[in-house]
Chains A and B, each alone.
Chain A
């Protein structure tokens, strides 16, 4: 019944719209107009709207920055993140002026050069000087961005020197949870593979491997010491996942059959970040950022960054793999 009424209502609206339009057109023809030609009045209105839109668009941009600006990620909690944030700001300093200036030109020209029967358009079809200008200027700007970008990229992607003090953690993704293990006192991760998965051994660690005995499997959250490089190794046992730690500006896919890696140095403890964000309940989080199935939207693990002493105390409480 409701559907029927709705259909009838829509039909009536469409019919009345058709009739109204027809009458409007007949009216215009009666007055001797070629109805589809853009009239001078219409053209002026549209030109003016171009200008209005320009202002409104910039206002919308500013309004969003004002309203939502403080929802953005807080200051980076990793060493390399500070560098990439600076690169991001440099890029903003380039693209926002480009965005603003080209938009001013676009809509200002549209407004200013609206049709005027008493004026002739300029026959201006090319200028090598101008073409050269807007090939070379972007090239120079891009050279700067590319050089800065690539040097940061190389630094970020270089694995931690295994001779130096560092923490080695393996993170394993599966639908729809994270598992993690620490390398233990020998600093080496024991062999693991899907063929060893059984019961509580969800990470598929090979019991026979001597490097595996002191590995520590943890659940629910991982702890990181502040100021110490953390080398992550990522695995997945089913589909592709992505380990995304936005506060550390860190992300790497977890790919079944492939080991991937990422490293960073945490610089701000959870306690300190709670003060910075003014949020007593703040926690760093590891979340999945590659479509992985129905519950993709809820695949998370907390990360606690704490002093080296607290971290070591926590790690000592975790059981070695051989004890299980």
Chain B
């Protein structure tokens, strides 16, 4: 009897925390796994920044962490490329795709649309565990013979196809491909679930135009993922065939290691097309959730409706549509037909229009607001800044004639780290600070949050802004050192500056880690609706329960942005500066078209 009882408790723990099918727990699992991967990716970048800032100097930390990859504390050139490759892969896919989308889509979709859980809790659980397995395989690949994949996160063949070309293209690349195949399965399981849940499980009154912009962003992100990730899977499968079974999809006319290979008739450019057919939408898979989160936070913390709700939805849809017809702008100088280059220039530059609409709508939301600077709000303002700063240089890179000279230089590295990397990371931080009480029932410390934000924005601009100057000086990316060219001798100052900023930025993130862990265990208890927000998730109890609402699922009567709504006498309609979605319209109240 007692044994059965004990067994029962064990099961409880196992199914509550490990194999949970509850979207709130799965969201936390995605967050923690994503953060751990992100931390590893960040440490990698700090290490290779040490090599770039102080080429050839020995560091005990490199010796300690990299071991056989670095003799006497100086990393080997091919291992530098392994670090760059793994940093990119981990940050783009594991932190900013699974970590960001997985966390917030899972947490917010059921809570904000008024559903008991995801459409399929079981698939949702599988989605996390596929992600977990792919993370583990990716980390294992760091320790194998020859080292991890080293062909850049874009893994262009033939470099990625031939172990003779670089040691990382041996077992390391095989594991990379397997890990990514599993990752894609995870992403598809998640995305399908998100789409079905949003379309089918909305509570009474939750029409499409009453959904928070977060949900719109997650919906469109999921659709983009479903459309584009399978293409990457096929690219990866064909690469596996070329590597292991002697096919020639991507390989032709190769002489390497003193012999002619038998592959013939393939083209690496085919791989580039397939890769970037995912690769470019991927930028928006990363970015749209962050923009959705920001829309929600900017409106709530400005105590003002988001400006241009319908225009925001339209621009999300326009960005998503355009994002699948611009992939060729990564390939202007591949030898692709110049006419195609012209078409891709045209579609690419068009993205600036919906992006500009979004920026101006954010600005107008702030205008005449009543802004409360929670750490989440600071990161949201930071996101608008990085989205602009990184976005404007896209007009240079997207213009094929200009891209010729900055393609694959540090200009590109600066551009995408600001517009995609920083924006998405800022959006993720904003989301964590804002919904931490919903996730853990506790509050994070504001003061540490403030320090975290200011250190982060100052140092990360310090890292990525100067890279534009390196790029305009013609410095290529993915160089182990710039010291081999007299042309780049003067660049050492810039590189040192960037490295110092990177080191401080990395330590700055420890503030967040401390705040995060401290608040989970010791943080003050949160109230039910700490930000006095309108959306549905704040009507659920602080303590997590299965099914989210103890009684009936509430009915929705208005859109989520009725902040500071006043009547004819300039008094708040509800007596307060916010009106939750569950409050019915007053007798004389206009609904504003929602």
Contact = CB atoms under 8 A, between A and B. Distances in A.
B335 A153 contact: no
A251 B333 contact: yes
A146 B304 CA distance: 37
B63 interface: no
Interface string B332-356: 0111001001100110011011001
Contacts of A250: 404-405
Contact of B473 (A17, A73, A120, A121): A73
B372 A157 contact: no
Contact of A102 (B310, B363, B404): B363
Contacts of B356: 134-135, 138
Given A21-B518, A194-B260, A139 B353 contact: yes
Contacts of A240: 156, 158-159, 268
A296 B478 contact: yes
Which of A110, A121, A193 lies at the interface centre, i.e. has the most chain B CB atoms within 10 A of its CB?
A121
B473 A244 contact: no
A307 interface: no
Interface string B559-578: 00101111000101000010
A68 B469 CA distance: 7
A301 to B, nearest CB: 12
A149 B253 contact: no
B205 interface: no
B268 A175 contact: no
A252 to B, nearest CB: 5
Bin chain A's interface residue count. 35 or more
B245 interface: no
A74 B447 CA distance: 47
B373 A46 contact: yes
Nearest to B482: A297
A43 B373 contact: yes
Contacts of B78: 293-294
B507 interface: no
B485 A285 contact: yes
B402 A122 contact: no
B235 interface: no
A50 interface: yes
Contact of B461 (A60, A109, A238, A256): A60
A157 B524 contact: no
A300 B307 CA distance: 53
Contact of B305 (A109, A124, A130, A287): A124
Interface in B499-549: 514, 518, 522, 524, 526, 530
B367 A109 contact: yes
B400 A153 contact: yes
14 contacts: A36-B446, A42-B447, A98-B388, A99-B388, A113-B367, A113-B368, A115-B303, A116-B370, A130-B308, A244-B408, A249-B405, A252-B333, A257-B265, A297-B480
Given A134-B356, A256-B253, 4 more contacts: A71-B469, A153-B341, A238-B254, A240-B156
